[in-house]
């Protein structure tokens, strides 16, 4: 049970700051735990919450945000961390769908929240998390001060988290998780990165509304170590604070790593204390992985693969795997303890090693289901396996190689083209900073491979040059038929994944397709 992990860590780590907030404020874990328990009590006492009542959070990262995560595990209801990059209409949909009773916001989202209030019949209060207890209106500190630090009878099968899928493929779905699922994820983080101690310091720049942010909201607090919190990701600040706080662990998505390596302030010496960088959430471009291994050779790298429905992680490419090198560096690693993987064809039958199919996963940390979507739940979990929608294959050693999202696979002239393979080929060109590959309409091919490229400052490349470069490492039919150059960064989701549906939309809307 998660409260037990947190309570015992608080007893051990009385002289260590659990959190260093965005403004430099330091806070011990016992103080943090006391406030989390009081919030849970306030939810029950003042608002009549039970174990299934939902409250939402729309805010940047902060130690108060972590309080709202932990209040759910102390019997304070079900927390719904919201994607801060969604449009107001999308936020309104999620709040209505979740039937959230409370909405916690900071200054950045207070005005948006008030504008949404009239559309939300279930909403009782909007609570500010960044104002003192004596401020006008409901505040987080005010609620905590009005309650007691009590621990009710909570169980591992109690609901704790309602997290909506990422918005990269359409309307989000609410994923319901129990306390047990979240605790299993904490243990798996220990298997991946080595168990943290009171001497560990993790810098959290990943959004706390994302499953990948669980290292800072759950993993590190349970260890009794320190979490340095960044409200938003800014590579120059991350570089400075790694040295300032003697950071030992980082968890970043590949986009963040590339931005950090390419920042003018990057110097390997500033990462001298960093022992581990975990990465995942989207494919790692070959060129970026090669660069980080060359420039930070003392750092152990671990890659994770997972999904919101699994309470995060299911496979890991370990530090030992990275040291081994070779072709497995292009894999997502092997299944973590307690996880089973299977590759299935369109009829749901297992395929041999090396053959591409859909990745199916089974583990004890999967969702209870999609909120109020029984048919979609049944389809996603048919046969006792989660059907991921990812295309990949297993090699003879059990390493999982992901080739694409099934929705992102391009069928050109009857041949399957996996966009990540083309992106890897293009990313190794010295002028390429960012690249995304999509399928666009073609009268001749049905779909054609199209690359959207952002070049490095001061570098130049032509369409023909990039196509020729891709052909040096992949088959001709996989190489782009067209290249679009952009000066602005590629559109990213809140989890910093490229929004390929936004890149595809102008082409398919014009063609009258989807």
CB 322 within 8 A of CB 293: yes
Q: How many CB atoms lie within 10 A of CB 463?
A: 15
Q: How many CB atoms lie within 10 A of CB 398?
A: 13
**Would you say residue 194 has pLDDT above 70?**
no
Question: Does any domain span residue 264?
Answer: no
Q: Any idea what DSSP says for residue 498?
A: B
pLDDT number for residue 287: 81
Distance CA 17, CA 8 (A): 15
pLDDT higher for 31 or 312?
31
Backbone torsions φ then ψ of 434, nearest 5 degrees: -135, 145
Q: Using pLDDT thresholds of 50, 70 and 90, give the confidence band for residue 512.
A: low
Distance CA 250, CA 241 (A): 11
Q: What is the 3-state secondary structure (H, E, C) of 136-189?
A: CCCEHHHHHHCCCCCCCCCCCCCEEEEEECCCCCCCCCEEEEEHHHHHHHHHHH
Question: Collapsing DSSP states into helix, strand and coil, what is residue 201?
Answer: strand
Structurally, the chain folds into a number of domains equal to: 1
Question: Does any domain span residue 169?
Answer: no
**Would you say residue 170 has pLDDT above 60?**
no
pLDDT number for residue 409: 72
Q: Which sign, positive or negative, has the C-alpha torsion 146, 152, 155, 159?
A: negative
pLDDT number for residue 177: 95
Would you put residue 315 in left (φ > 0), alpha (ψ -120 to 50) or beta?
A: beta
pLDDT number for residue 473: 83
pLDDT higher for 314 or 418?
314
pLDDT number for residue 514: 45
Question: Does any domain span residue 29?
Answer: no
pLDDT number for residue 389: 85
Using a 10 angstrom Cβ sphere, with 0-12 exposed, 13-18 middle and 19 or more buried, the burial of residue 308 is: buried
pLDDT number for residue 406: 63
Start-to-end CA distance of the chain, whole Å, equals: 45
Radius of gyration of the chain from Cα atoms?
23
pLDDT higher for 511 or 121?
121
Question: Does any domain span residue 486?
Answer: yes
Q: Any idea what DSSP says for residue 502?
A: H
Q: Using pLDDT thresholds of 50, 70 and 90, give the confidence band for residue 501.
A: confident
Residues of 81-100 as b/e, b for ≥16 C-beta within 10 angstroms? bbbbbbeeebbbbbbebbbb
Distance CA 65, CA 232 (A): 13
What is the percentage of the chain residues whose pLDDT exceeds 90? Answer: 61
Calculated CA dihedral for residues 444, 449, 450, 455, nearest 10 degrees: -140
Specify the CATH number for the domain of residue 465: 3.30.300.30
Backbone torsions φ then ψ of 335, nearest 5 degrees: -60, 140
- pLDDT, mean of residues 190-215: 80
Angle, to 10 degrees, between the axis of helix 286-295 and the axis of helix 254-261? 50
pLDDT number for residue 413: 64
Closest C-alpha among 313, 303, 305 to residue 364 = 313
**283, two tokens:** 């494919």
- pLDDT, mean of residues 374-378: 94
**448, two tokens:** 């054609």
- pLDDT, mean of residues 78-92: 89
State the residue range of the domain holding 485.
408-511
Question: Does any domain span residue 507?
Answer: yes
**Would you say residue 169 has pLDDT above 70?**
no
Of the candidate ranges 111-120, 409-418, 481-490, the one whose mean pLDDT is the lowest: 409-418
Distance CA 468, CA 444 (A): 21
Q: Using pLDDT thresholds of 50, 70 and 90, give the confidence band for residue 168.
A: very low
Which residues, at least 6 apart from 111, have a Cβ–Cβ distance to it below 8 Å?
Answer: none
Mean pLDDT of the chain: 89
CA distances from 303 to 246, 284, 295, 363 (A): 22, 9, 17, 19
Distance CA 437, CA 45 (A): 52
Q: Using pLDDT thresholds of 50, 70 and 90, give the confidence band for residue 94.
A: very high
Q: Which residues pair with 438 in a beta bridge?
A: 450
Q: Using pLDDT thresholds of 50, 70 and 90, give the confidence band for residue 174.
A: very high
Length of the chain: 514
Q: Which residues pair with 252 in a beta bridge?
A: 279
Question: Does any domain span residue 424?
Answer: yes
Closest C-alpha among 421, 420, 426, 425 to residue 454 = 426
- pLDDT, mean of residues 476-485: 90
Of the candidate ranges 55-64, 387-396, 502-511, the one whose mean pLDDT is the lowest: 502-511
pLDDT tens for 387-439 read 998 889 999 999 999 887 666 778 776 667 878 888 888 989 999 999 999 98
Question: Does any domain span residue 504?
Answer: yes
Calculated CA dihedral for residues 68, 71, 75, 79, nearest 10 degrees: 20
Distance CA 407, CA 421 (A): 15
Question: Does any domain span residue 468?
Answer: yes
CB 453 within 8 A of CB 432: yes
Alpha-carbon 201 to chain mean position: 20
């Amino acid at each position: 049970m998660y409260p037990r992990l947190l309570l015992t860590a608080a007893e051990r780590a009385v002289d260590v700051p659990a959190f260093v907030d965005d403004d430099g404020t330091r806070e011990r874990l016992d103080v943090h735990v006391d406030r989390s328990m009081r919030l849970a009590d306030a939810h029950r006492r003042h608002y009549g919450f039970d174990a299934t009542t939902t409250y939402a959070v729309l805010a940047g990262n902060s130690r108060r945000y972590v309080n709202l995560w932990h209040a759910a595990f102390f019997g304070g209801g079900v927390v719904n961390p919201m994607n801060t990059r969604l449009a107001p209409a999308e936020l309104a949909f999620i709040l209505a769908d979740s039937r959230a009773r409370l909405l916690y916001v900071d200054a950045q989202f207070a005005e948006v929240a008030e504008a949404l209030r009239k559309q939300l019949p279930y909403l009782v209060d909007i609570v500010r998390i960044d104002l003192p207890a004596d401020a006008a209106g409901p505040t987080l500190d005010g609620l905590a001060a009005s309650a007691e630090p009590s621990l009710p009878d909570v169980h591992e099968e109690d609901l704790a988290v309602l997290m909506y899928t990422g918005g990269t493929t359409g309307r989000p779905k609410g994923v319901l998780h129990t306390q047990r699922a979240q605790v299993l994820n904490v243990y798996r983080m220990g298997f991946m990165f080595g168990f943290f101690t009171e001497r560990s310091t993790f810098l959290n720049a990943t959004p706390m509304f994302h499953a990948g942010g669980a290292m800072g909201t759950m993993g590190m607090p349970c260890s009794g170590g320190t979490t340095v919190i960044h409200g938003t990701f800014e590579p120059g600040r991350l570089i400075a604070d790694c040295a300032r706080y003697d950071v030992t662990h980082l968890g970043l998505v590949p986009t963040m790593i590339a931005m950090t390596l390419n920042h003018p302030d990057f110097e390997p010496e500033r990462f001298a204390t960093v022992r581990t960088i975990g990465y995942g959430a989207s494919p790692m471009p070959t060129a970026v992985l090669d660069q980080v291994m060359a420039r930070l050779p003392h750092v152990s790298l671990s890659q994770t693969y997972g999904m919101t429905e699994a309470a995060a992680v299911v496979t890991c490419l370990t530090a030992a795997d990275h040291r081994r090198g070779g072709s497995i560096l292009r894999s997502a690693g092997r299944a973590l303890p307690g996880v089973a993987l299977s590759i299935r064809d369109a009829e749901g039958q297992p395929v041999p090693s090396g053959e591409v199919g859909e990745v199916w996963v089974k583990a004890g940390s999967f969702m209870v289901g999609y909120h109020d979507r029984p048919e979609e739940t049944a389809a996603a979990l048919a046969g006792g396996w989660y059907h991921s929608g990812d295309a990949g294959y297993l090699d003879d050693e059990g390493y999982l190689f992901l080739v694409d999202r099934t929705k992102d696979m391009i069928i050109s002239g009857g041949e399957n083209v996996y966009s990540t393979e083309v992106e890897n080929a293009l990313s190794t060109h010295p002028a390429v900073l960012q690249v995304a590959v999509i399928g666009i309409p073609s009268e001749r091919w049905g779909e054609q491979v199209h690359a959207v490229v952002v070049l490095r400052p001061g570098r130049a490349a032509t369409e023909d040059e990039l196509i020729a470069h891709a052909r040096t490492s992949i088959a001709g039919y996989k190489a782009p038929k067209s290249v679009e150059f952009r000066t602005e960064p590629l559109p990213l989701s809140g989890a910093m994944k490229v929004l390929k549906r936004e890149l595809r939309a102008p082409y398919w809307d014009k063609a009258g397709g989807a």
